[in-house]
């Protein structure tokens, strides 16, 4: 457990990445009680500095020995680095909040979305996992529905932006788009196919059963976060030529009937959600609108009469904020609330 | 019924539009038995010429009087013009194949996809409707499944390109993309929101029940084409920043169980379909691959174990070809086969 202090020593591991940078920005914006910040990245980034609260801060090399005196470490440096360094950090008394998929399904590691299952923080052993971006925004919306009327089954199709892959993918979309508009040949390096003006039904690697890892994550992580393996889910995850923000088309079979108006009212007062649903005025969630925003936007709420208790909706969130950096910082804030 | 001839007088109404141009190209490529072609468009286009089989052909103004002597007219000039002119054409003995939504649900008008319900051509009364682009590609894939194991319910989410809206939308995506990449303000004229680097869950206008007309079309047209109102469907239709080609994420509950391998085998021999499904080699349907192609591409076929008889798949087709121009020309070819 975290010891109660006025301010905390915080580390960001993977500080130069798309999510790492967003973590630093989020700590600043939310006035997180930082006594001292430490920024870690791979050897390539040594010598760089990043700004935090108006100060230049050196980027340091990550080793097993750096964690003494660090209270909380936000990791977003890939699964391999998390597997390698998180146990050493935890041993040194640092609490790791890890954004990779490495620890998420470990039964010893809580997988937490603060609006959904904050109490799972009670049983952490030094490592806490941040869920997958596409899972976080979905589960924020599913939770109030689950509590109110139950959830039998979810069919989800995602529209995920390239920033979920990282900085190089953002550059690839930019470069391919420029090259195509000037009638030049394009290069594909990050993705196996052209991403500019194209949609790829392929996120993370393929498994034996034909699903991608991303699709498995959405099923398994949602069940772990809701604490209910009886919830049925199936996912199709798709990369779209958008820089920032993930959208999801959700079809939900609830346990009991809920009307669209009742659902709108329910979600309007739920934490972390903004209902953005006035189609007659062309108001519905958009990736361009959610950039830099904290909430999950929900719209296109309508009853699905193809089954007895069906609901369709369209949800959008900033994958770098609520889908990664913000959720990690919110976990840290929740830890502080519970510190003794 | 069409009278058997060696060659036919064919009209394209809306010849200067995105679909009209594709109709002309499709007639050429398929060596349709054209005796004489007539091209019609709105007054704006008068004076223009378009090429057909190496000849310049004048664009004419459409009036009630032009249809004498025309055997087949392919209409793609919007619903209003179809409502206004198709009855006069039919009265003059011309068979209208109409790409608008104006006549599709009229009980006196067959709605035809030649691979699916060619026999419905037997009862036409001079007007035949071409289904909506997103419906056509879906129903080509649903039909062999429906025949083999039955279909209880379909949950579909679409990824539709801007060419479905027309030439101006193609220009808008191009212009907005250029302006954004050079840090200029963008204009939104065709769509209510930025389409470049954004996904809009909004195709056609919104109805009272929160669904769009496009979503209703996918449900109602599919039932009419399959001739079975017991098939349950629900749709979420989304515009994506892609120039050409529509993709769809399909979740299907079949009547009897079918395994992914069995389904792959079934679809491999079905008409109008190419199975493109080898995820280990990064082979799955892509909008960039289907441009200018006739078939519906099917991939990402996998069993959905969230229900007893579930299947997921990802399908892609060229919305201007099979989704519009090609299907219309195939209807005309089928009429010729049945001519007496």
A306 with B202: Cβ contact below 8 A = no
The overall average pLDDT reported for chain A is 97
- Helix ranges (DSSP H) in chain B: 18-29, 79-91, 133-149, 167-181, 213-226, 260-268, 287-290, 326-337
Which of A132, A335, A117 minimizes the C-alpha distance to A228? A117
Tokens of A51: 């700004």
B155 close to A (CB below 8 A): yes
Q: What is the mean pLDDT of residues A121-140?
A: 97
A133 a catalytic residue: yes
The Cα-based distances of A255 to B7, B17, B95, B302 in angstroms read 61, 48, 51, 26
Q: What is the pLDDT of residue A128?
A: 98
Q: What is the mean pLDDT of residues B229-240?
A: 98
Q: Which of B201, B232, B302 to mutate to test the interface with A (most CBs of A within 10 A)?
A: B201
Q: What is the mean pLDDT of residues A151-176?
A: 97
Tokens 């959904």 -> residue: A116
Q: What is the pLDDT of residue B43?
A: 87
Helix axes B326-337, B18-29, angle to 10 degrees: 40
B290 close to A (CB below 8 A): no
Pairing of strands B127-129, B151-159: unpaired
Contacts of B222 in chain A (CB under 8 A): none
B306 with A198: Cβ contact below 8 A = no
Cα–Cα distance for residue pair B214/B220, rounded to 1 Å: 10
Tokens 């669209």 -> residue: A260
Pairing of strands B72-75, B8-13: parallel
Tokens 């302006």 -> residue: B179
Tell me the β-bridge partners of B73. Answer: B11, B96
A251 with B236: Cβ contact below 8 A = yes
Pairing of strands B34-41, B55-61: parallel
Tokens of A110: 């809580």
The overall average pLDDT reported for chain B is 97
Contacts of A238 in chain B (CB under 8 A): 159, 247, 249
pTM of the complete model: 0.96
The Cα-based distances of A286 to A78, A169, A299, B201 in angstroms read 28, 21, 10, 8
Sign of CA dihedral B259, B265, B266, B271: positive
Nearest CA in chain A to B237: A249
| Distance to chain B for A104, nearest Cα, Å | 22
Contacts of B241 in chain A (CB under 8 A): 197, 240-242
Contacts of A206 in chain B (CB under 8 A): 279-280
The share of chain B scoring above pLDDT 90, in percent, equals: 97
Q: How many CA atoms lie within 13 A of A58 on its CB side?
A: 6
Q: What is the pLDDT of residue B46?
A: 86
Residue A24 per-residue DSSP state: H
Confidence grade of residue A7 (pLDDT, cut at 50, 70, 90):
very high
Cα–Cα distance for residue pair A58/A47, rounded to 1 Å: 7
Which of A224, A243, A240 minimizes the C-alpha distance to A292? A243
pLDDT digits (tens, 9 = 90+) for B260-319: 999 999 999 999 999 999 999 999 999 999 999 999 999 999 999 999 999 999 999 999
Contacts of A222 in chain B (CB under 8 A): none
Q: What is the mean pLDDT of residues B57-71?
A: 94
B87 close to A (CB below 8 A): no
Which residues fall within 8 angstroms of residue B73, CB to CB, at 6 or more apart? B10, B11, B12, B13, B67, B89, B94, B95, B96, B97
Which of A168, A206, A161 minimizes the C-alpha distance to A189? A168
What are the counts of helices (DSSP H) followed by strands (DSSP E) for chain B? Answer: 8, 13
Tokens of B324: 């519009």
Cα–Cα distance for residue pair A169/A155, rounded to 1 Å: 27
B232 with A200: Cβ contact below 8 A = no
pLDDT digits (tens, 9 = 90+) for B112-167: 999 999 999 999 999 999 999 999 999 999 999 999 999 999 999 999 999 999 99
| Distance to chain B for A44, nearest Cα, Å | 29
Question: How many CB contacts within 8 angstroms connect chain A with chain B?
Answer: 158
B233 close to A (CB below 8 A): yes
Q: What is the pLDDT of residue A46?
A: 86
B269 close to A (CB below 8 A): no
Rg (CA), chain A: 20
Q: Name the residue among B200, B234, B260 with its Cβ closest to that of A310.
A: B234
Could you report the predicted ipTM of this complex, rounded to two decimals? 0.95
pLDDT digits (tens, 9 = 90+) for B202-211: 999 999 999 9
Angle of CA points A263, A265, A268, to nearest 5°: 105
**Torsion angles phi and psi, residue B53, rounded to 5:** 50, 45
Q: What is the mean pLDDT of residues A113-130?
A: 98
Tell me the β-bridge partners of B222. Answer: none
Q: What is the mean pLDDT of residues A288-298?
A: 96
Cα–Cα distance for residue pair A123/A281, rounded to 1 Å: 46
A286 with B193: Cβ contact below 8 A = yes
Confidence grade of residue A43 (pLDDT, cut at 50, 70, 90):
confident
Q: What is the pLDDT of residue A1?
A: 80
**Is residue B244 classed as helix, strand or coil in its secondary structure?**
coil
pLDDT digits (tens, 9 = 90+) for A65-88: 999 999 999 999 999 999 999 999
| Distance to chain B for A196, nearest Cα, Å | 8
Q: What is the mean pLDDT of residues A88-98?
A: 97
A201 with B299: Cβ contact below 8 A = yes
* b/e code A100-113 from CB counts within 10 Å (16+ = b): bbbbbeeeebbbbb
A49 close to B (CB below 8 A): no
**Is residue A253 classed as helix, strand or coil in its secondary structure?**
strand
Report the 10 Å Cβ neighbour count for A121: 19
Cα–Cα distance for residue pair A336/A339, rounded to 1 Å: 5
A197 with B242: Cβ contact below 8 A = yes
Q: What is the pLDDT of residue A169?
A: 97
Report the 10 Å Cβ neighbour count for A284: 25
Which of B84, B94, B82, B80 minimizes the C-alpha distance to B125? B94
Tell me the β-bridge partners of A312. Answer: A251, A302
Confidence grade of residue B1 (pLDDT, cut at 50, 70, 90):
confident
Cα–Cα distance for residue pair B220/B238, rounded to 1 Å: 18
A184 close to B (CB below 8 A): no
pLDDT digits (tens, 9 = 90+) for A227-284: 999 999 999 999 999 999 999 999 999 999 999 999 999 999 999 999 999 999 999 9
Residue of A133, A193, A216, A290 marked active site = A133
Interface of B with A in 100-119 (CB under 8 A): none
A247 with B202: Cβ contact below 8 A = no
Nearest CA in chain B to A210: B302
Domains and CATH numbers, chain A: 8-131+324-337 (3.40.50.720), 135-318 (3.30.360.10)
Helix axes B213-226, B133-149, angle to 10 degrees: 40
């Amino acid at each position: 457990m975290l010891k109660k202090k006025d301010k905390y020593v915080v580390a960001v591991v993977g500080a130069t990445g798309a999510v790492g940078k967003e973590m630093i920005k989020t700590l600043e914006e939310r006035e997180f009680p930082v006594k001292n910040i430490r920024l870690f990245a791979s050897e390539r980034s040594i010598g760089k500095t990043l700004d935090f609260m108006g100060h230049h801060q050196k980027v340091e090399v990550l080793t097993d020995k750096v964690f003494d005196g660090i209270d909380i470490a936000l990791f977003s440096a890939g699964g391999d680095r998390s597997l390698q360094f998180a146990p050493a950090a935890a041993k040194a008394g640092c609490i790791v909040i890890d954004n990779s998929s490495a620890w998420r399904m470990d039964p010893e590691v809580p997988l937490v979305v603060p609006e959904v299952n904050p109490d799972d923080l009670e049983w952490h052993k030094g490592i806490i996992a941040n869920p997958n971006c596409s899972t976080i925004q979905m589960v924020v919306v599913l939770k109030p529905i689950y509590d109110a009327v139950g959830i039998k089954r979810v069919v989800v199709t995602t529209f995920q932006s390239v920033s979920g892959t990282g900085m190089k993918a953002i550059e690839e979309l930019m470069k391919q788009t420029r090259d195509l508009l000037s009638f030049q040949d394009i290069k594909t390096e990050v993705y196996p196919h052209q991403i500019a003006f194209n949609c790829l039904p392929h996120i993370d690697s393929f498994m034996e059963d034909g699903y991608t890892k991303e699709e498995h994550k959405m099923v398994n992580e949602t069940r772990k976060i809701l604490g209910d393996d009886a919830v049925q889910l199936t996912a199709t995850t798709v990369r779209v030529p958008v820089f920032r923000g993930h959208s999801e088309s959700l079809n939900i079979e609830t346990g009991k009937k809920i009307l669209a108006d009742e659902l709108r009212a329910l979600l309007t007062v739920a934490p972390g959600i903004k209902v953005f649903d006035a189609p007659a005025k062309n108001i519905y969630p958009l990736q361009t609108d959610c950039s830099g925003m904290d909430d999950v936007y929900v719209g296109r709420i309508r009853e699905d009469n193809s089954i007895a208790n069906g609901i369709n909706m369209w949800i959008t969130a900033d994958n770098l904020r609520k889908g990664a950096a913000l959720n990690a910082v919110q976990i840290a804030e929740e830890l502080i609330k519970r510190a003794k």
